[in-house]
Chains A and B, each alone.
Chain A
Amino acid sequence: MSDINWRLAARSLKRDLRAADVRALFVALVLAVAASTMIAFFLDRLERGLERQAGQMLGGDLVLEQRDPFPEELRNTLEQAGFTLSDQVDLVSMISQGERFQPASLKAVDDVYPHYGVSHVGRGNGVEQIVSGPPAGEAWADPRLAELIEIEIGDRVQVGQMELTISGIIEREADQSAGFGNFNPRLMLNTADLEATGLVQPGSRIEFELLAAGPPAALEQVQGLLAQLRRDGVDVRDVRVDRPQLGNALQRAESYLGLAGLAAVLLAGVAVAMSTRRYVERHLDTAALLRCFGASQYQLVTIFSLQLIGLAFMASLIGALLGLVGQAVLLWLLTSFLPMRLPPPGIMPLWLGIFTALAVLVGFAGPMLLRIKQVSALKVLRRELDPLPPAAWLVVGWPASYLAACCGSIQAASL
């Protein structure tokens, strides 16, 4: 594309910003982008927050559970896909302190535990937030177990053939996955001590869990493997699948906010259409003059398209910034209704902003811009020689198709 066209488009845009119709067009685009990016930023943060919370509840983005230890080959495959792995063993066993015996739900965790969240553990002098499990030789008991067998911090309990020192009372576990043993009070220990307890025997009722944390792409990559594992009887929990209640709530929120955003974009689209109409009317004379001075039809289309694309990009940036501020306000207003802290905003909604501005421009302004292409140089002598207005089917049909496509995508997202 010729430098002349770029330069002329840039100069024209700079000059045109003085005109009321271009300012109106600019404001309408900014509003469309601000509305859509505000909602997109908010939903993006909500979705990632919910996914993180679901991951925290599950103990990882992917949790595999079976009665036997997991083979090394599977571990390698998951690690190669981008996952960090953590081992966990659940079993029910009798524990004792002196004369007091109590069946307990034992949870043995490794040094990687937990993938997400923190444990709240009483240490005798207040509750600490700890991002690990108990070290080897120690165990944490939940308050119910401590009460039933009357143990305190520093006491020793018998677990199978080994004695462990109680170093903490669990107020809240980092992961809140519920297993069969949760009817019994919890005792958490380190996997390094498991063998010494002598509890892992053939025929023991033990569940081996492999907790994997990794990006969505890694999860996507191993979907085939997961299907095979399910067929082999492995219990597979996927952060995207195993959060039905959160998923439905999110989808409803997406639908409502999506509709609100669409309404805002549509209103802005009408404003874009109206201001584009004035813009085009004004520029028919410009186009005719440029034709007189030697501009080709292609050059005219290029200059005006570049000018509007430039306007759309400027509006995208300002609209996206406003959207960023707007979502922060929205978040502030809804803080008390949200069950968690949301992660910081991502980059994706910015692209959505640019796409929205261009889509609104093409959807609502496109048909009218065709008139500029059709203008005759003879209009400089005969002012009545305006190109015909765009066909009604084009003016109505084009934005209507755009609207239908938007509604369709929202409907598809809510299914």
Chain B
Amino acid sequence: MLHAEKLAKRVISGERTLTILHDLSLSVAAGESVAILGKSGAGKSTLLGLLAGLDTPSDGELTLFGHALSRLDEDGRAALRAGRVGFVFQNFQLLPTLSALENVLLPLELSPRAGETRTAQQWLERVGLGERTSHQPKQLSGGEQQRVAIARAFVTDPELVFADEPTGNLDPDTGAQIIDLLFTLNKEAGTTLILVTHDHALARRCDRCLRLTNGQLVPFEPAPANSGEGDE
């Protein structure tokens, strides 16, 4: 599904070159769920951007769905994602002038299929928002907005879903509901899930946990539920 070999990412800040990731290798099998934890500024979002083909590494090789991303330009990488990759973001990334239904429809409109409106409606029903399809994001709570975003991520039946701090902007109770929803849908759809989080409770739900530290990924066992250590 996804294979990264000796990835590195360096950025130039003023006269200094900052190394965010180096010698990073990762393999994710189809249907697997992987949590990537790390402190703020550790480079989690940078890594997510690289793995999803939104950004290019300074060094190393990345293969997604059997295609070497280094051989594809930005449009080629976008075409590879179309309909096969879903995203859930910390700040939901819903378009404010669109209704819940229209937001869910958006990825379907780029790779149209028959009955797309019905499909989008069904996904909103699955996330518990069947009665709120015409509501705009500002009329929805944070939890409801993230439900819309989850419906949007799954609506194309993707093979791979990337989630960037999906509970980061939610209160603990709402966050727990969103986690349940995300993993339930993921299990039902058999999707591969790569999520970046601070939240140990969320990480514990994944098949595998990795910690990003000093630019590299290391296996990690999140704190048990009753240990009192909830966040990175």
Contacts and interface: CB of A to CB of B under 8 A. Distances in A.
Interface stretch (B80-88, B173-181, B211-219): B80-88
B54 A15 contact: no
A291 B78 contact: yes
Given A19-B97, A292-B81, A294-B83, A381 B89 contact: yes
Contacts of B48: 381
A321 interface: no
B74 A7 contact: no
Contact of B54 (A7, A11, A286, A380): A380
A276 B61 CA distance: 40
A289 B96 CA distance: 13
B83 A377 contact: no
A296 B75 contact: yes
A297 B73 CA distance: 11
B105 to A, nearest CB: 8
A295 B81 CA distance: 9
B74 A294 contact: no
User: Which among A8, A11, A16, A380 has the greatest number of chain B C-beta atoms within 10 A?
Assistant: A380
Interface in B49-99: 49, 52, 54-55, 74-75, 78-83, 87, 89, 91, 93, 95, 97-98
Contacts of A295: 78, 82, 110
Given A292-B54, A293-B81, A296-B75, A4 B95 contact: no
A23 to B, nearest CB: 11
A210 B77 CA distance: 76
B97 A293 contact: no
Nearest to A299: B110
B190 interface: no
A15 B98 contact: yes
A18 interface: yes
A289 B95 contact: yes
B45 to A, nearest CB: 5
A400 B111 CA distance: 41
In the complex, which range does the number of interface residues on chain A fall in? 20 to 34
Given A293-B107, A298-B75, A378 B97 contact: no
B106 A289 contact: yes
A295 to B, nearest CB: 6
Most buried by B among A289, A293, A295, A376: A293
B110 A377 contact: no
Looking at chain A's contact residues, the main secondary structure is helix
A378 B55 contact: yes
A377 B97 contact: no
A234 interface: no
A298 B110 CA distance: 13
B95 A297 contact: no
A299 to B, nearest CB: 8
A296 to B, nearest CB: 4
A382 B11 CA distance: 14
A290 B102 contact: no
A381 B87 CA distance: 10
B109 interface: yes
Given A285-B93, A285-B95, A289-B93, A381 B78 contact: no
Nearest to B108: A293
Contacts of A290: 106, 110
B159 interface: no
Contacts of A376: 54-55, 74
Interface string A1-31: 0001001100100011011000000000000
* Highest count of chain B CB atoms <10 Å: which of A11, A285, A381: A381
A18 B112 CA distance: 24
Given A289-B93, A289-B95, A381-B54, A294 B49 contact: no
Contacts of A285: 93, 95
Interface string A365-384: 00000000000111011110
B164 interface: yes
A378 B106 contact: no
Interface in A257-313: 282, 285-286, 289-299
Contacts of A16: 97
Contacts of B91: 383
A297 B87 contact: no
5 contacts: A282-B97, A290-B106, A290-B110, A293-B81, A381-B49
Interface of A: 4, 7-8, 11, 15-16, 18-19, 282, 285-286, 289-299, 376-378, 380-383
Given A292-B54, A293-B82, 4 more contacts: A8-B110, A292-B52, A292-B87, A294-B83
